[in-house]
């Protein structure tokens, strides 16, 4: 597990053995089964997650219906809003697949940042990348039609089509599962 994380970090900075050992000593690696709810609406949490293997989903429950807002797969991280604002969560995070994650909290991060300042720079870079990706995703959701959102998913995240149940994909692009089936059939007929 450590090797996966270290290989990812190496794309940004080269870690010393001391830095690698400090990360391993934090005991941040966790395995979760498919269906595990990591965070529930109304729950307080201090945990942030980084996906080494697997898939996470964020969603709201509105009038009894799940509304999927994001999927996080390998080498993507999420720090729930409740960690930052110290308020109960407004949404859920669950494992779509069996997953291997790093689980960390702000106290752990602060300790590592003090001892190894380069990690703070790395986290800033990763946060900026995530912010840019989130902004693009929001813009596309507001400006794309459901068909365009689906085609974008096919082009940019084709793995999700195999990894995620159809009802969750439909919710993610803002349509019903029946509409997604019709959309797929219509696109197949066009070919």
Q: Name the pLDDT band for 184 (thresholds 50, 70, 90).
A: very high
Q: Which residues of 51-89 are buried (b: 16+ CB within 10 A; e: fewer)?
A: bbebbbbbbeeeeeeeebbbbbbeebbbbbebbeeeeeb
The domain total for the chain is 2
173 and 127 in a common domain = no
Instruction: Provide the 3-class DSSP secondary structure of residue 101.
Output: strand
Distance CA 28, CA 102 (A): 5
pLDDT at position 122 is 86
What does the pLDDT average to over 75-85? 92
Residue 122 and residue 165 in one domain = no
Return the top range by mean pLDDT from 2-11, 68-77, 116-125.
68-77
Residue 109 has pLDDT above 90, yes or no: no
- Any domain includes 138: no
Stretch 158-178: mean pLDDT: 95
> Residue 118: its pLDDT value, please?
85
């Amino acid at each position: 597990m450590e090797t996966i994380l270290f290989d990812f970090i190496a794309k940004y900075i080269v870690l010393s053995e001391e830095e690698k050992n400090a990360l391993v000593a934090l005991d941040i690696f966790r395995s979760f089964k498919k269906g595990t709810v990591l965070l529930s609406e109304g729950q307080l949490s201090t945990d942030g997650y980084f996906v080494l293997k697997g898939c996470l989903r964020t969603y709201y429950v509105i009038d009894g219906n799940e509304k999927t807002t994001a999927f996080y797969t390998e080498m993507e991280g999420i720090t729930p809003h409740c960690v930052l604002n110290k308020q109960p969560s407004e949404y859920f995070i669950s494992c779509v697949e069996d997953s291997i994650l790093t689980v960390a909290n702000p106290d752990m991060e602060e300790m590592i940042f003090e001892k190894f300042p380069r990690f703070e720079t790395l986290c800033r870079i990763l946060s900026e990348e995530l912010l840019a990706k989130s902004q693009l995703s929001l813009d596309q959701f507001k400006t794309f039609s459901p068909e365009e959102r689906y085609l974008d998913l096919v082009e940019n995240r084709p793995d999700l089509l195999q990894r995620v149940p159809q009802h969750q994909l439909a919710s993610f692009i803002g349509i019903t599962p029946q509409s997604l089936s019709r959309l797929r059939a219509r696109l197949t007929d066009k070919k």
